[in-house]
Amino acid sequence: MNEKEIFEMTKHIDDQYILEASPSPRKNIKLKKRIITFGIAAAITASLSVGAFAAYKAFNKESVATYYDSSAVEKIEQKGYVSEEVANNKHFDLNLDSVMKDNNCIMAVVSVKGLDETAENYIAQSTQMCCNLVYSDNNEKVNGFAAMFGWQPYEKGKAYPMRLCVPVNTVMGVVDLSRPIRLDFIRDENNTVAVDKDFFKDLSLELKDIKQAKSDKFYSADGKMLDVSEFTIVTNGDWDENAELTADKTIIHYKDGTSEALDQKVNAITNNLTPENKSVTIIDLKTLIDPENIDYMEYLGVKYTRK
């Protein structure tokens, strides 16, 4: 079978796999400049914050440890980047385990549990949950998007840890982090599991009183800037948008003379367009760093220092 025949064979790939691999607008996808409408699906107006009914729940270390190393999990607990917010309806049980924000995004870990077979099949198929964002103080639509998904295999009967990222500066607009935000969950249109129209009814999660992580800015000799927080490193938007997304040669040099390479300590590297249509790279760390202790940074072999 030659390459042309193999390529012809790909046209027979099943619908379910085509849909599975289709781009999701709610994922952290870099948008082509000409596609700037990036609409969020129809808003679900019905919402219910169940945070008020939340009983005390213990910090779910196991869930958070899916995305952070052991030292980071300890710091997340010590610094209070934990939450007691929960959301549920008759199909799903959601627990906000950790949440923190910096100048560029909100980052959280949410445990999702399917309460019936349909919900379990739904989670297992797409391993992501879609939502609309609203400011919960007045139900105004947020000009932004959220991505919440997990890469690890889903195990039935267990809570499934998903990572939630809400970028602040996107081509859709700027998210006002001083206001409380609510995630209203909606159906993922790529998910083919048959569900009734009330499947996501009342499934809303509040993001409020989120603690601000420490951050600092570092500059190269040619004026490029890195915004370094406890959990992300973000370029300033003056980068080549086609640059390879990599954390190679990202090294922190601490004031005490020690250094730490970050290439193996990364959850994800994504690329977003800012409201000004500039390309930024977000390196999302699986460890927590202290920007105040940094003497200087190296990124792609270039030195960055404080001004």
Partner 1 sequence: MQDNELIQLFFDRNEQAISETSEKYGRYCLYIADNILPTHEDSEECVNDAYTALWNTIPPEKPESLKAYIARIVRNAALTMLRKNKAKKRGSGVLEEVLDELKEAATDSPESITDAKLLSELINGFVAGLEKQQRVIFVKRYWYLSPSKQIARECEMSVSAVNTTLHRLRQQLKNYLEQEGFTI
CB 138 → partner 1: shortest distance, Å?
A: 27
CA dist 164 and 147 (Å) reads 6
Q: Which tokens go with 145?
A: 């998007």
According to DSSP, the β-strands at 181-186 and 128-135 are antiparallel
**Is residue 32 involved in binding partner 1 (CB under 8 A)?**
yes
Q: Does residue 274 belong to the site contacting partner 1 (CB under 8 A)?
A: no
Binding mask 103-122 for partner 1 (x = CB under 8 A): --------------------
Question: Among residues 192, 242, 216, 149, which one has the least CA distance to residue 20?
Answer: 192
Rg (CA), the chain: 20
Report in angstroms how near the CB of residue 32 gets to partner 1 at its nearest: 7
Minimal distance in Å, beta carbon 29 to partner 1? 5
Show the site string, 175-194: x = touches partner 1 by CB under 8 A, - = not: --------------xx-x--
One-letter amino acid for residue 50 of the chain = V
Tell me how far, at minimum, the Cβ of 224 lies from partner 1, in Å. Answer: 20
Query: Per-residue string for binding with partner 1, 204-243, x by CB under 8 A?
Result: --------------------------------------x-
The identity of residue 297, as a single letter, is M
Which residue among 70, 90, 117, 151 contacts partner 1 (CB under 8 A)? Answer: 151
Q: How far is the CB of 250 from partner 1 (least distance, A)?
A: 12
In a 10 Å sphere around its CB, with 0-12 CB exposed, 13-18 middle and 19+ buried, how is residue 87 labelled?
A: buried
Q: What is the DSSP string of 109-131?
A: EEEEEESSHHHHHHHHHH-EEEE
Closest approach of partner 1 to the CB of residue 233, in Å: 15
Measured distance CA(264)–CA(250) in Å, rounded? 10
Residues that bind partner 1 (CB under 8 A): 1-15, 17-23, 25, 27-30, 32, 34-35, 37, 127, 151, 153, 189-190, 192, 242, 244-247, 267-271
